[in-house]
């Protein structure tokens, strides 16, 4: 090919590449459609109300474990308790991976409606759980299955709600995306703890300790109502502009994705594993821990202290939301992990003395959990939503969250053996060790996307795909464009025009 012919073709090829990138990446600027504006608020509200349901389901077993232990002391062994508690986690891992893929390959709206319906189904089964012929073991197997189904919906909420909320907040205001995201995700998830304790106390006060089966079934029944409150919002929402312009629904280049984002995946997956390894078992079994240090293991007093504990953990969410912009996502997360180190060591090394002063024990325990909320609790969802481009955001977010839930399952499984073999103090000392490891993983592997427009990473991702020869369609049906072959030379003007 002659030089005279190559130069103009190369120039037109660059122009074509720029044109493709402009077409395939989200349009920046204000939202013009009134329906789109309304959909942004619907999406953010739906994320908030949906994740309240998740937080409630994550915490409902805290006091239920105490009740079941009182009702069935011989049948509700540590093995059965762990199995019922872990069922939600196993379901959540499945839901996070599957729904993460659905988010990207089919659509955010479909994923959100699906998770809502699955949570309603699982919660309904849990409320109505019975064993054949009154079998107690049958009851707990029924609950295990019901909690597993609920877990699929709860796990699916993480990528579905969080990716939708981050994209909607990005369209509304890039600068305040972080605080908005935190308030409609981790705050409502954390609020599920006090909510579950409050519902339990109200049911216990109304029914009395002589009707504990009624109490736990009422608590499970409330879990049916919560997800239904968001269904109308989700049916009316639209997919974000980011998704409509940037979705890749076929021939997703996962090998190229891993080559580009392996370091970020190690960071988000590793940090989430460590966080859930500590926070989930300490949340699920906190009622049991408090009950063990209270004289006579009074259920109402245990619930009251549990409510105080979960309430003390809430301020950390607000502090994290305030710090995430001025301090940065990564630094805020490291500050949170340092709380595990400090308070884990204080409680663990002084366990025998501090548990004799119940208010002091609960306050320090609550502060440890509050630092968890301030750092990894607030930041992990945020950095997992920000670190990856729109076409794979749900998939990578779901994978990160699933690894986190695997950490929760391992932590829950190991919690009782650690207590029995090493002593209760070691559950807190191990939390401190996880805090140190979390700081290191965050520093070396977690990217800091503070203040970066999500569309900017979409641009870089599309350029990366084009440079590596990927060819495929980008965007939903109404906004579909072709990208690929833009870095090659073309022998004819017709080849360029086909792009």
Walk along the chain (499 residues) and give the pLDDT tens digit of each residue.
Answer: 444 444 443 444 444 444 444 444 444 444 446 666 777 777 787 787 778 888 888 888 877 888 898 888 888 888 888 888 889 989 999 999 999 999 998 988 899 899 999 999 999 999 999 888 889 899 999 999 999 999 999 999 889 888 888 888 888 777 788 898 998 888 888 888 888 888 988 998 898 888 888 999 999 999 898 888 888 778 877 778 888 888 888 888 999 999 999 999 999 999 999 999 988 777 655 666 666 666 666 677 777 777 777 788 888 999 999 999 999 999 999 999 999 999 999 988 998 888 788 788 888 888 888 899 999 999 999 999 999 999 999 999 999 999 998 998 888 788 778 877 888 888 889 999 999 999 999 999 999 888 888 889 999 999 999 999 888 888 776 555 555 543 333 333 343 333 3
Q: Which residue has the tokens 């350029």?
A: 463
Helix 186-207 and helix 177-184, axial crossing angle in degrees, nearest 10? 20
Residue spans of the domains in the chain: they are: 29-452
Total number of residues shown for the chain: 499
489: left (phi over 0), alpha (psi -120 to 50) or beta: beta
Rg, the chain, Cα only: 24
Q: Which residues of 340-365 are buried (b: 16+ CB within 10 A; e: fewer)?
A: bbebbbbbbeebeebbeeeeebbbbb
Would you call 120 helix, strand, or coil by DSSP? helix
CB 192 within 8 A of CB 48: no
pTM value is: 0.81
Contacts 24+ apart (CB under 8 A), 265-268: 265/396, 265/399, 265/400, 266/441, 266/445, 267/383, 267/387, 267/441, 267/442, 267/444, 267/445, 267/446, 267/447, 268/380, 268/383, 268/384, 268/387, 268/396, 268/400, 268/446
Name the DSSP letter for residue 209: G
* Structure token pair of residue 317: 């969410």
Report which of 110, 241, 77, 224 is spatially closest to residue 168, judged by C-alpha positions.
Answer: 241
Q: Which fold has domain 29-452?
A: Growth Hormone; Chain: A; (1.20.1250)
State residue 251's pLDDT score: 87
CB atoms within 10 A of CB 34: 8
Whole-number Å distance between alpha carbons of 50 and 160: 10
CA max distance for the chain: 93
Q: Which residue has the tokens 């049958």?
A: 138
Q: Which residue has the tokens 């474990």?
A: 65
């Amino acid at each position: 090919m002659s030089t005279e012919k190559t130069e103009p073709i190369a120039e037109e090829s660059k122009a074509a590449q720029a044109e493709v990138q402009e077409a395939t990446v989200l349009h920046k600027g204000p939202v013009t459609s009134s329906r789109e504006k309304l959909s942004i608020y619907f999406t953010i509200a739906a994320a908030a109300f949906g994740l309240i349901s998740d937080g409630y389901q994550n915490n409902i077993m805290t006091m239920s474990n105490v009740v079941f232990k009182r009702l069935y002391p011989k049948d509700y062994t540590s093995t059965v308790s762990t199995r019922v508690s872990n069922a939600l986690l196993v379901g959540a891992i499945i839901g996070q991976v599957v729904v993460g893929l659905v988010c990207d390959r089919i659509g955010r709206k479909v994923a959100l409606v699906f998770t809502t319906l699955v949570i309603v189904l699982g919660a309904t089964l849990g409320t109505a759980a019975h064993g054949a012929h009154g079998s107690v073991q049958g009851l707990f197997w029924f609950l295990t299955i019901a909690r597993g189904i609920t877990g699929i919906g709860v796990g699916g909420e993480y990528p579905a709600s969080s990716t939708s909320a981050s994209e909607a907040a990005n369209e509304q205001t890039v600068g305040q995306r972080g605080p908005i995201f935190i308030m409609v995700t981790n705050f409502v998830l954390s609020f599920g703890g006090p909510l579950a304790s409050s519902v339990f106390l109200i049911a216990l006060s109304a029914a009395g300790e002589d009707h504990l089966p009624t109490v736990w079934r009422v608590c499970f029944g409330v879990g049916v109502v919560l997800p239904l409150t968001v269904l109308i919002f989700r049916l009316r929402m639209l997919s974000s502009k980011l998704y409509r312009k940037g979705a890749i629904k076929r021939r997703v280049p996962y090998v190229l994705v891993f080559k580009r984002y392996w370091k970020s995946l190690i960071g988000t997956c590793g940090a989430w594993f460590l966080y859930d390894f500590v926070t989930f078992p300490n949340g699920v079994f906190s009622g049991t821990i408090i009950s063990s240090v209270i004289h006579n293991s009074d259920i109402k007093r245990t619930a009251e202290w549990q409510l105080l504990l979960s309430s003390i953990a809430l301020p950390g969410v607000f502090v994290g939301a305030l710090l995430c912009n001025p301090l940065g996502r990564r630094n805020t997360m490291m500050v949170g992990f340092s709380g595990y180190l400090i308070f884990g060591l204080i409680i663990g090394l002084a366990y025998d003395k501090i548990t004799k002063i119940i208010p002091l024990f609960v306050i320090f325990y609550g502060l440890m959990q509050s630092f968890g909320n301030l750092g990894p609790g607030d930041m992990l969802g945020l950095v997992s939503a920000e670190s990856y481009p729109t076409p794979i955001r749900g998939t990578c977010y779901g994978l990160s969250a699933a690894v986190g839930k695997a950490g929760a399952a391992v932590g829950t499984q190991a919690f009782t053996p650690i207590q029995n073999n090493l002593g209760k103090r070691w559950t807190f000392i191990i939390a401190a060790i996880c805090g140190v490891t979390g700081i290191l993983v965050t520093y070396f592997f977690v990217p800091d996307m503070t203040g970066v427009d999500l569309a900017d990473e979409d641009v870089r991702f599309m350029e990366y795909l084009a440079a590596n020869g990927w060819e495929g369609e980008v965007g939903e049906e109404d906004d579909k464009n072709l990208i690929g072959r833009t870095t090659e030379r073309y022998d004819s003007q017709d080849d360029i025009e086909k792009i």
